[in-house]
């Protein structure tokens, strides 16, 4: 799987992609990440990529020319073009898994007040939001999406933690609390049941805690089995 990330700040991504699982996935050739500077596709001698919105309003928009040229410089028949925007469909684990099945993703990061609608009309396959709030630009959303997708690429995670094969997650439940050593920390003991090694009792306890947590946080009634 190849991921091309188009932005005005390619240097933004150096940190997150150079450590831990994303670093290893690239070293193992499981994913290839390319960072492309949209300014390279500016069409005037001042390398201008933004302009004022028709009809008025605050701030600047990204001009269509450089964005479309940047996309077309990497696009082929197998490409899926995603624009990160608060106006998109909210990202879910299911969408991450679906996107991980593509061989080539192009992630377009918006800056300023967004991009000219004609870029979306001409070149974008889908608009995705990572949540209902507005960040200063689309680079962090592209990092979030890349990270969440990479977990679903075969070989990236070990068998043990294979993405979303967790039965609770599949039922839309939140995880039960977890503990490691020591057995007591600042007067708080690890729940007795987890120390006993009784697998059925542990599974029952986790199920109960998981349902409680899901009810508290989402107000959602757990599905009956």
**In the annotation, is 32 catalytic?**
no
> Is 97 tagged catalytic?
no
Considering beta carbons, is residue 81 or 173 the nearer one to ligand 4GX? 81
Which of the residues 110 through 149 are near ligand 4GX (CB under 6 A)?
110, 113-114, 129-131, 133-135, 137-138, 141
**The length of the chain, given as a count of residues:** 225
**Catalytic-residue membership of 86:** yes
Cα–Cα distance for residue pair 124/193, rounded to 1 Å? 51
Q: How far is CA 30 from CA 1, 37, 94, 153, in A?
A: 7, 23, 20, 7
Nearer to ligand 4GX, 4 or 116 (CB): 116
Residues near ligand 4GX (CB under 6 A), total = 16
- Closer to ligand 4GX by CB, 120 or 176: give it: 120
Residues 68-87 that bind ligand 4GX (CB under 6 A): 84-87
Tokens (6 digits) for 93: 């684990």
Rounded CA-CA distance 84/56 in Å is 23
Q: Is 64 in the site for ligand 4GX (CB under 6 A)?
A: no
Active-site residue 66, yes or no?
Answer: no
Give the C-alpha separation, 88 to 92, whole Å.
12
Catalytic hit among 51, 113, 147, 212: 113
Question: What is the greatest pairwise CA distance in the chain?
Answer: 71
E strand or H helix at 4? strand 2-7
Least spacing, CB of residue 66 vs ligand 4GX, in Å: 15
Catalytic residue among 125, 166, 170, 183: 166
Residue 130 near residue 144 (C-beta atoms within 8 A): yes
Region 149-178 residues binding ligand 4GX, contact defined as CB under 6 A: none
Beta-bridge partner residues of 189: 184
Residue 114: CB minimum distance to ligand 4GX, A: 3
Share of the chain residues as helix, strand and coil, in percent rounded to the nearest 5: 40, 20, 45
Query: Considering beta carbons, is residue 1 or 143 the nearer one to ligand 4GX?
Result: 143
| Interface positions with ligand 4GX (CB under 6 A) | 84-87, 110, 113-114, 129-131, 133-135, 137-138, 141
> Which residues have a catalytic role annotated?
86, 113, 151, 166
């Amino acid at each position: 799987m190849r991921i091309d990330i188009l932005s005005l700040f390619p240097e933004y991504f150096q940190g997150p992609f150079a450590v831990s699982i994303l670093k290893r996935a690239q070293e193992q050739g499981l994913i290839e990440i390319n960072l492309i500077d949209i300014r390279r596709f500016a069409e005037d001698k001042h390398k201008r990529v933004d302009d004022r919105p028709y009809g008025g309003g605050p701030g600047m928009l990204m001009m269509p020319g450089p964005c479309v040229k940047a996309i077309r410089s990497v696009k082929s028949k197998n490409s899926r073009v995603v624009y990160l925007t608060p106006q998109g469909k909210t990202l879910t684990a299911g969408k991450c898994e679906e996107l991980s099945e593509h061989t080539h993703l192009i992630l377009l990061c918006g800056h300023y007040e967004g991009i000219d609608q004609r870029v979306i009309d001409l070149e974008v396959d889908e608009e995705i939001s990572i949540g209902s709030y507005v960040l200063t630009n689309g680079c962090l959303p592209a990092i979030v999406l890349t990270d969440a997708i990479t977990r679903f690429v075969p070989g990236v995670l070990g068998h043990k933690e294979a993405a979303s094969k967790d039965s609770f997650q599949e039922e839309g439940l939140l995880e039960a609390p977890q503990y490691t050593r020591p057995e007591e920390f600042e007067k708080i003991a690890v729940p007795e049941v987890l120390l006993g090694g009784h697998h059925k009792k542990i599974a029952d306890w986790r199920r109960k805690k998981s349902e409680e947590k899901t009810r508290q946080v989402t107000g959602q009634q757990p599905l009956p089995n």
